[in-house]
Amino acid sequence: MLGLVDGTGLGCRVWVPPRVYAPQEDTFLLANALGRLPLTPGAAVLDVGTGTGALALAAARRGARVTAVDRARRAVVTTRVNAALAGLRVEVMRGDLLEPVSHRRFDVVLSNPPYVPAPEPGLPRRGPSLAWDAGHSGRALVDRICDGAAGVLRPGGVLLLVHSALCGVPPTLERLGRAGLHATVEDRRCVPFGPVLSSRRKWLEMRGLIGPGEEKEELVVIRAERAEEAGK
């Protein structure tokens, strides 16, 4: 079992099997943003790229009706197990980002997608890098979420999306704006490079994504809101 420290906003322990993304700084930052969001009992919450289901469980503990989606079969099983261990009800679906729920609408959409810039241009097909690699720019999945989030949000609904500043904050804000959402930076946190970014330091420098000797990345939570319907 993985113990989560006080103050993360998750308030639980989760089982983390091999090759499933363990909750860490980006998860905790997004959980804190969720904790500040007013969430009425019965609110419909979607967790996209759920991993262990830690964020889905945090929402379910507040009385939300939670749906969790992940493309990795192992993550789907892990989330179901963690929900059962916690005694919480979470609908877990396997599929590609928003596609399994494209016909539904939610009050809140959460996402901690893969966002790490990678030397390989495409997305990995298997292995642990499925949880973090997102093409040269790191935006292969972030852009798709930005483009599709408005379609699954109810009027007045909120998207909370976390990613690294290495893949660009202005492009996220601009893309969400073009999709009809009002987007702002909700939170930021600088953290030391983990093993993946440390191993890519020279490549990141060559790409101009970091400066010489840089050893920290900035994590950013973006909040995007869909406007209320006229007359509401």
pLDDT tens digit sequence for 115-145 = 999 998 888 888 888 889 999 999 999 999 9
Q: Would you give the DSSP letter of residue 39?
A: -
Decide if 30 is inside a domain. yes
Decide if 49 is inside a domain. yes
Decide if 1 is inside a domain. no
At 230 the pLDDT is: 61
Give the type of residue at 212.
P
Decide if 126 is inside a domain. yes
Domain count, the chain: 1
Which alpha helices (DSSP H) does the chain contain, by range?
A: 25-36, 54-60, 73-86, 142-152, 169-178, 195-199, 201-206
CATH code of the domain in which 171 resides: 3.40.50.150
Q: Find the helix or strand (DSSP H, E) in which 183 lies.
A: strand 181-192
Q: What is the mean pLDDT of the chain?
A: 92
Structural domain harbouring 127: 25-226
| pTM attached to this predicted model | 0.93
Decide if 3 is inside a domain. no
Give the type of residue at 223.
R
At 47 the pLDDT is: 98
Decide if 10 is inside a domain. no
